[in-house]
Structure 1
Amino acid sequence: MNFQNGLPGSLSELVTEVQRQCGIKTNFRLQFMDALFGNEFTNLISIDEVQDRGTIRMIPVTEASAPTALCHPSLDEYSSMFSMCLETDTLSTTESESSRSRQFWPTVFRVPQLSFDAELKLERGNAAYKEKGTFLIPDPKLKSNILEGLVQEIVKYKVYVTDKEFNTVGEALTSKHPCLTEKGSLTGYAGWKASLKNKLAIYRTHLRKLGCPEVVVNSVKHKPEGKTSAASAIKRPRRSEVNYCPPHPTGESDDSLENLRVALLSDVKKSNNREVVRIKMDKTFSCRRFEVVRDTPMIQDFRARWPALFDVSEINAEFKRITTMSLQSRFLSQIDLLSDKLLKVFQKRGGEMGRRLQTIMEPMAQVCQDLVCVYTFYWEKD
């Protein structure tokens, strides 16, 4: 594109000029090659990023997916909006892989639907509690049914549960079925909590026999030297790690995934081969995670085995595989929310770094001052 009068003064004017010269009537967004991210295409949000003889890319946006301009979204909406606008590479997962993927622990735990006879007993118990205030003493079959249902719901999120999370399960159970509240217990669910811990521990033993990687990694034969106790050095996911140690994709084994890893060493050196690398990195995710969790290798050793992972696009993709969230959109949304506090921290910084930050912040302060003047003008006018 040629601009006879130089670059437009604003991003909106640039969009209008692109529409005029290219004859485009549909909605779109512009991206530029960001040198800070290895010339990866990033959404254009400032006209200052456009360089003479530079390259920009146009991405069509449908009206249904386009974000509303004049709104104040929540954090989750803001993150999802940035995720739509900023992600240039999307991850494809098969149906079997997505069904085994874990989810974040919910804010409010949902007690699952139990068997027909168990729900009938609980319905009658709740009715008796509401009318007479009597508590239900569950028979062994009903108690086992309740614990089994809770465990099956818990493992959708994780197999190692904290004490606080056990409390949320107990609160949810006694809230939905108040007839199960225990007399003499301070919380009303202390006995249910203890039984649930024991039930989940037994279920983990069953999962270990079936070869669940998240539990197998904590078996005695995988313990570090000197850690022979089954309860020592337990490897558990951190709060943000949803897919901590997932199983291999269907039809894949350690040997087949190792062959893919070796093939990646040559694939990453080829040009215009990003899609092939992405697919193979997606397939070998479980192998890579088990290696990280079990062996905790040094960075230089891990980089030698997985050089493709240290590309910017693959870092973003790996972050999303582990946490199910977009790294870039999450980072930008948090920066936007915390910008006021960051500016106050920068203002208090002294020394050479403080002077450099002051030079960077001066134009930002001028822009903020101009915005305040504009808002004040319109406020007084109204």
Structure 2
Amino acid sequence: MDPPTILKVILGDNSCQRLTFSNGLPGSVSELVGEVQRQCGLDSNFRLQFMDELFGNEFMNLTSMDEVQNRSTIRVIHMTEASTSQCSTSAADLCPYISEESSSLSSGCVDTDILSSPDSSESSSSRSFWPSVFHVPKLSYDAELKLEQGNIAYKETGTLLTPDPKLKSNILEGLVQEIVRYKVYVTNKQFNTVGEALIAKHPCLTEKGSLTGYAGWKASLKNKLAIYRTHLRKLGCPEVMVNSLKHNPEGRASAAFGIKRPRRSEVNYCPPYPTGESDASLERVRVELLSDVKKRNNREVVKMKMEKTFAYRRYELIRDTPMIKDFQTRWPALFETSEINAEFKRITTIPLQSRFLSQLDVLSDKLLKPFEKRGGQIGKRLQSILTHMAEVDDVDVGRECVIKGLCVYLNEDPNSLVREYTADEAFQGSIEDTTVGIYIIKPDATSKPEDIGVVLEGQMILRDLDNVAFDAAMLFGLMYALDLNYPTELKYTFEVLQKVVMELDSNTLSKKAQVLKNRLCQ
């Protein structure tokens, strides 16, 4: 039996509490959330943060129980409060390692507050991440009364409640309204979390005839949500309208063909237009942006208009799936590093550049251990990368080596991600054959790079960037900003960058990524 453990829990301003665990800490973050909810009497949806000594005792999101020990301090962040705190974090707080001089350049920290009108910010921040523990909402008075009586009977005699049609409809409606706060297209695993939460809060609703105890509720909930999506489509919800039959390719009449939905933990995948705006009004703003982006010292105006047209741009991108060359012609401002950072934050509500580089630095030492232990041909390739990393004492080179080592460790070719060319080579033909990648141009093999940039669909999208790690961050951001699929030859590398480094949708990993994550926690 583990020794007793105590934690300090900060509940809010001037409010904290001590939690005692007689048998040691829970085994998972979700179990810890449940204990905090029970011992502190919380009824709202929240997540936890821990005090990180690596960053001057600042609070970071808690994703692993390895970050919590006896007498640690954790903080409760309610979901409505979390979105606000993320979006209001300044660049100085998020990028302490970037100098004032570099912050004024294109590669500087640009994850600052997004300027927007009240209407646009309201529409783009209407959703948040799917919670680690689903919160069953409070229902109508009569429904809660019936469930309370049913739970009492279940505890006393073990009698299960057979809900009447009105009560069942009330329960399903309440669950659907809570679900659409996060997304309208729900995965099978997320339906399971809803079912588990339902019978955990109301055990009298457990079904005897199913292995899970909620299989019937899950089936009914899927049907109820599908009907509700039809209702949303009639009301003009863009995230549902984009999947209507009229937007399907010719010859494909099935409504289920190519469903366009969030795949990588996008919070604002296809948001509604700002209040009072239409296609015509937002198209006028887009045309204005074509001239605004060419003016000097006009960054704030461009940023404000890009924020205003975010929903219009996303709907066009998701509905029409244009070629990148054509989309760049229509939205040239999006293909600047500052706007890539801003667009990523609009989609996911978290910063891109600062999060990517800082997390890469934090995980570097942990990644080097499995790199060093790997044997065979992969181990030899990793050893050459680690040797080069040790010879060159440079932060940017170290990050580049970690990214390349990650590709090798996952049995993928780092040359598919980063390709080097010398100035005397005819590299234009190779660029045109590249779908996704980073290019480096050097005068010769031993010199410093003359140019580093990003290639998408045979087009040099970004140029004159500082280093490969920064390039990788921008390339990752473009995957979200342009709604691109990960390249097949690098799918595990991008999955680890997303789910382990950026911690987006980190609960669902492939076997290869899960093995690596387990080794990082050892």
Note closer, same or farther for the CA distance 1:92–1:112 as it changes in structure 2 (3 Å cut): farther
Q: CA 1:302/1:161 → structure 2, altered by over 3 Å: closer, same or farther? A: same
1:356 offset after TM fit, Å?
4.8
> What CA deviation, in whole Å up to 9, does each residue of 1:93-136 have, x standing for no partner?
55554554211000000000101111111111111111111011
Distance in 2, matches of 1:175 and 1:213, equals 34
More displaced stretch, 164-173 vs 232-241: 232-241
Q: Which moved more, 1:339-348 or 1:272-281?
A: 339-348
2:162 equivalent in structure 1:
137
Measure the CA separation in 2 of the matches of 1:281 and 1:94: 11
Query: In structure 1, what is the equivalent of residue 392 of structure 2?
Result: 360
Are the counterparts in 2 of residues 75 and 333 from structure 1 also a CA contact under 8 Å? no
The 5 A counterparts of 1:82-121 are: 84-86=93-95, 88=110, 89-100=112-123, 101-121=126-146
Structure of greater Rg = 1
- Cα distance in structure 2, aligned partners of 1:184 and 1:361: 63
Question: What does residue 277 of structure 2 align with?
Answer: 252
Query: Which segment is superposed worse, 158-167 or 99-108?
Result: 99-108
Quote how far apart the aligned CAs of 1:333 are: 2.9
How many pairs align? 299
- How many Å apart are 1:142 and its aligned residue? 0.6
1:263: Cα distance to partner? 0.6
Structure (1 or 2) with the greater helix fraction: 1
Alignment check: 8 A CA contact 1:82 1:329 kept: no
- Provide the rounded CA distance (Å) in 1 between the counterparts of 2:353 and 2:382: 30
The residue number in structure 2 matching 1:71 is 57
Tell me which residue corresponds to 1:22. none
Structure with higher RCO (Cα < 8 A, 6+ apart): 1
- Of Structure 1 and Structure 2, the greater strand share is in 2
1:335 is matched with 360
Does 2:180 align with 1:155? yes
Structure 1 gap segments, 5+ residues each? 1-66, 366-382
Partner of 1:226: 251
Structure 2 unmatched ranges of 5 or more: 1-52, 68-84, 96-108, 373-378, 399-522
Q: Distance in 2 between matches of 1:69 and 1:123?
A: 46
| Aligned-pair CA distance for 1:336 | 2.3
In the alignment, the residues of structure 2 paired with residue 258 and residue 210 of structure 1 have an alpha-carbon distance, to the nearest angstrom, of: 22
User: Matched residues in 1 for 2:251 and 2:386: separation?
Assistant: 49
User: Hey, what does 1:210 align to over in structure 2?
Assistant: 235
Amino acid in structure 1 at the alignment position of 2:358: S
1:235-285 Cα distance to aligned partner (Å, 9 max, x none): 111132110000100011001111111110000000000010001000000
Q: Is the 8 A contact 1:257 1:287 kept in 2?
A: yes
Matched residue SS, 1:236 = coil
Cα separation, 1, equivalents of 2:94 and 2:359 = 16
Shift of 1:328: 1.6
Q: Distance in 1 between matches of 2:217 and 2:289?
A: 49
Contact residue 115 and residue 303 of structure 2 kept, 8 A? no
Paired with 2:300 and 2:394, the residues of 1 have a C-alpha distance of: 43
Q: Which runs of structure 2 are paired with 1:1-382 in the superposition (5 Å)? A: 70-71=56-57, 74-75=60-61, 84-86=93-95, 88=110, 89-100=112-123, 101-343=126-368, 345=371, 349=381, 356-361=388-393
Work out the CA distance in 2 between the residues paired with 1:99 and 1:286. Answer: 12
What is the Cα-based RMSD across aligned positions, in Å? 2.9
Identical columns (%)? 68
1:186-206 deviation line (CA, Å, top 9, x unaligned): 111011000000000000000
